[in-house]
Amino acid sequence: AQSVTQLGSHVSVSEGALVLLRCNYSSSVPPYLFWYVQYPNQGLQLLLKYTSAATLVKGINGFEAEFKKSETSFHLTKPSAHMSDAAEYFCAVSLTTDSWGKLQFGAGTQVVVTP
Amino acid sequence: DTGVSQNPRHKITKRGQNVTFRCDPISEHNRLYWYRQTLGQGPEFLTYFQNEAQLEKSRLLSDRFSAERPKGSFSTLEIQRTEQGDSAMYLCATGTGGDYGYTFGSGTRLTVV
């Protein structure tokens, strides 16, 4: 079984400041890990994914995340927040042994960007 | 390639009525998933198709729910005798496997009154 915990349901950051969204997972086998972003009344857009290659993963819109096996973490960062980053962010895990590749999502973190 | 298309975008129905949603995947995507997202929560897996075969169903998918993908292309999700607890966003995601980075549609928001 696997699960995802996102620390902080709401995060407020100033424009230009660092964005840090925390994600911890539990998994009985090596995981695949993902970050998705969701804008109001929209579906989810893939930001980046870890699939057992490089542990530092770069995604779209200037986001990146680092897989740390020892800490079972996959935190998402962006050096400088833009107003357009205001959205909800979801961390998700999939088991490498799951042939069907279904995703287990965290509860999400709502990001507010203030001028 | 116009992405994953879901229709309708919004559906308001009375309790007890049946509803059907449709998902049109990206043409070369053989994997298709349905997820349900309630307010303030992440999406929860409902069911998975590989081509036309339904290979997994979540325990969340009660007997009132049925999904089909008759020719391995579009898929439908039907809810019979809707209940207020069915109110949610229903999301479709498709992919080719391997990299496991699926493309989500914009979802169908169901409101049961």
According to the model, what pLDDT value does residue A38 have? 94
> Does B95 contact chain A (CB < 8 Å)?
yes
Q: Which of A26-35, A62-71, A78-87 has the lowest mean pLDDT?
A: A26-35
| pLDDT in the model for residue B46 | 95
Tokens coding A89: 């962010």
Tell me the per-residue pLDDT of B52-102, one tens digit each, with 9 for 90 and over. Answer: 999 999 988 889 999 999 988 999 999 999 999 999 999 999 988 756 678
Q: How far is residue B86's CA from residue A68's CA, in Å, rounded to a whole number? A: 37
Report how far apart, in Å, the C-alpha atoms of A71 and of each of A22, A47, A68, A104, B23 are: 12, 22, 5, 19, 38
Q: Report residue B5's pLDDT band, with 50, 70 and 90 as the boundaries.
A: very high
pLDDT one-digit tens code per residue, A67-99: 999 999 999 999 999 999 999 999 999 877 777
Q: Of B56, B25, B4, nearest to A101 (Cα)? A: B56
Given B41, B91, B95, which is nearest A43 (Cβ)? B91
Q: Mean pLDDT throughout A35-60?
A: 90
Contact predicate A44/A30, CB 8 Å: no
- On whether the CB atoms of residues A48 and A35 are closer than 8 A, the answer is yes
CB contact under 8 A, B109 and A41: yes
Asked if residue A48 lies in contact with residue A63, where contact means CB atoms within 8 angstroms, the answer is: yes
Instruction: Find the range with the poorest average confidence among A49-58, A101-110, B97-106.
Output: B97-106
Top-confidence residue, B47 or A53: B47
Of A42, A43, A90, the CB nearest to B42: A90
Mean per-residue pLDDT of chain A: 92
What is the pLDDT, as a whole number, of residue A113?
A: 97
